[in-house]
Structure 1
Amino acid sequence: MPSSRRTLLSGALAAAAAGAALPGTASAGSHGRGRRVPREAISIQLYTLRGIIGDDPEPVLSALADIGYRRVELAGTYGRSAAEFAKLLRRHRLRASSAHVGIDGDLDQVIADARTLGNQYVVVPYVNYATLAEWRAFAERLEEAGRKLRRAGLSLGYHNHAHEFAPVEGRRPFDVITSTTTRRNVHLEVDLYWAVVGGVDPVEVWRRDFPRVRQFHVKDRAPDGSFADLGKGNIDFARIFRATDVAEYIVENDEPKDALVTAQVGYDYLTRLRY
């Protein structure tokens, strides 16, 4: 690694550690009822760090490992093959337990890459359609793809934004997805920020679709509606986590001011939170 790049990331990581002590993160324990997020269940979506990864992901992966992460969720492999990226992950003792993928291309390649990378979950990150018929057709494709991936030992999921909770021709697309697909073939990765923006209670989503919700995108919402680092916004994660249980808690911020600060604050918030 060039020394200038190493120095830059070292400085950013030091700033991130300082940021972790800011009010809001340190007070996470004040919610306490004793339960906590298992460290081994904490992950981070690498999309959060896209702005600093550039053409060399290794310094960022090293920094995440230094923070304490042992899992990441992928959004591409930054110009590297699945085998090349898997090697980088192993070097830094990281596991790509989950990855965002599309299902309208070569599913055999999706499966092969997921196996190489060690994915357990593969998740469709975003679709949006204007008509109910298009949503139904997508949900049918999702179920079919989920069946194929399940037979390959993988779990296919769907990640929500806010628009899935707005009715299209009188019906919510989220309901189309959950009624057309089966829990055996398609799980849910609930983005807590977007669920709140969409006007729904994540706890109610979890209860209604239990046990299909296996992953949370843990993303906070500032009072003005923008994205916030964990503990700096107004989403009551303690209440949500107290009433639910998932396999992965994935830190994310779509527009971080400082991505490594976001990563450090997010990890510290989740490890300190009592609920």
Structure 2
Amino acid sequence: MTLPLASVQLYTLADELSADPAGSLERLAAMGLRTVEAFDFVRRPQELRAALDAAGLVSPTAHAPLLSDELWTPDGAIPTPAPEVVLEAAATLGARTVIDPFVAPERWATAEGVDDISERLNTLVERAAAFDLQVGYHNHAQEFVASFDGQTAYERFVARTDPRVQLELDLYWAVVGGQDPVALAASLGDRLLAVHVKDGIAPAENPFRPGAERFGSDALDQRRPGEGEVALAEALRAASAVQYAVIEYDNPPGDVFADIAASLAFLRDGGLAR
């Protein structure tokens, strides 16, 4: 199996990227990274593409909402444009797969809600193909709260989406959702395009469960790879077709660039990514 490419989700250094886009990307390139995963690119695709080109970086995967009118994140809500606007921006950016990063917990609480999410994403497969793009979904932990007929909401979603819909498995959030990340990664087979490589200690209870208070990223106990409870190496080895090992921190434990460098060393020194 060809090792996946190491990448980094730019949300990890959102503040640094906002303050100094060119300098931040150049620092990533200086670490030996060649691949990143863009976020919040729809309002500035040409600007971000130029900065990536200047740093010698590409963003084959990119996060943008496709399934919600407003995207809630732990750190604030983002209004969302129409899917065609997102797809056109992704094509300008040079992405190959647009990944929806978050669908609200209440929409995963019923079988009908899960089926609606699946159907909406299925309808985007051909629309994305017109832009020479694919679409995908990135999990948090709300997808593992409800179960229907012996399947988690996430499993139901996977079973009901077009096989061309790509999956990005966030290994930390899968653990927060009470899942075995190794078994889950193995079960997704060729659908699994990318994983988010993120370690830490899971909260005592799923923060996306019904009735839970909303939280900020600074409440998460995230750590450098190998210092938490997520079986990252085992999950990566179980992922038979994964193409991108995407470094991410919602709450970096220290200096964000040092944390990214530590994650990159974990991947490359461990023979888990190139």
Range into which the TM-score falls when normalised by the shorter chain: 0.7 to 0.9
Task: Report if aligned partners of 1:37, 1:271 keep a CA contact under 8 Å in 2.
Answer: no
Q: Which residue of 2 aligns with 1:3?
A: none
Q: Post-superposition shift, 1:55?
A: 3.9
Q: Which residue of 1 aligns with 2:14?
A: 50
Q: Which residue of 2 aligns with 1:228?
A: 223
CA distance in structure 2 between the partners assigned to 1:207 and 1:52 by the alignment? 35
Q: Post-superposition shift, 1:235?
A: 2.1
Return the TM-score normalized by structure 1: 0.79
Matched position secondary structure for 2:195: strand
1:64-118 deviation digits (Å, cap 9, x = unpaired):
01111101101113x9621121111000000011111111442222221111111
Q: Which residue of 1 aligns with 2:249?
A: 253
Whether 1:264 and 2:258 are equivalent positions in the alignment is no
Whether 1:70 and 2:34 are equivalent positions in the alignment is yes
Matched position secondary structure for 1:227: strand
Q: Post-superposition shift, 1:223?
A: 7.4
Higher fraction of helix: 1
Alignment of 1:155-166 (within 5 A): 155-166=134-145
Q: Post-superposition shift, 1:155?
A: 1.6
Alignment of 1:101-250 (within 5 A): 101-104=64-67, 105-130=81-106, 131-132=109-110, 133-167=112-146, 172-184=152-164, 186-222=165-201, 226-245=221-240, 246-250=242-246
1:146-180 deviation digits (Å, cap 9, x = unpaired):
23213432121110111101115765321231122
Matched position secondary structure for 1:211: helix
Matched position secondary structure for 1:214: strand
1:119-161 deviation digits (Å, cap 9, x = unpaired):
0111000012424122221221111112321343212111011
Report the CA distance shift for 1:36/1:265 in structure 2 as closer, same or farther (over 3 A).
farther
Matched position secondary structure for 1:255: coil
Q: What letter corresponds to residue 64 of structure 2 in structure 1? A: V
Task: Report if aligned partners of 1:129, 1:135 keep a CA contact under 8 Å in 2.
Answer: no
Q: Post-superposition shift, 1:37?
A: 4.3
CA distance in structure 1 between the partners assigned to 2:13 and 2:115 by the alignment? 33
Q: What letter corresponds to residue 180 of structure 1 in structure 2? A: R
Q: Which residue of 1 aligns with 2:75?
A: none
CA distance in structure 2 between the partners assigned to 1:80 and 1:56 by the alignment? 17
Task: Report if aligned partners of 1:37, 1:273 keep a CA contact under 8 Å in 2.
Answer: no
Task: Report if aligned partners of 2:88, 2:131 keep a CA contact under 8 Å in 1.
Answer: no
Q: Which has the higher mean CA deviation after the structures are superposed, 251-260 or 129-138?
A: 129-138
Higher fraction of strand: 2
Unaligned runs of 5+ in 2: 68-80, 204-219
Alignment of 1:14-53 (within 5 A): 37-38=3-4, 41-53=5-17
Aligned length: 237
CA distance in structure 1 between the partners assigned to 2:11 and 2:238 by the alignment? 28
Which structure exhibits the higher relative contact order, with contacts defined as CA atoms closer than 8 Å and separated by 6 or more residues? 1
CA distance in structure 2 between the partners assigned to 1:242 and 1:129 by the alignment? 30
Matched position secondary structure for 1:254: coil
Matched position secondary structure for 1:196: helix
Give identity over the alignment, percent: 32
Report the CA distance shift for 1:113/1:223 in structure 2 as closer, same or farther (over 3 A).
closer
Report the CA distance shift for 1:193/1:145 in structure 2 as closer, same or farther (over 3 A).
same
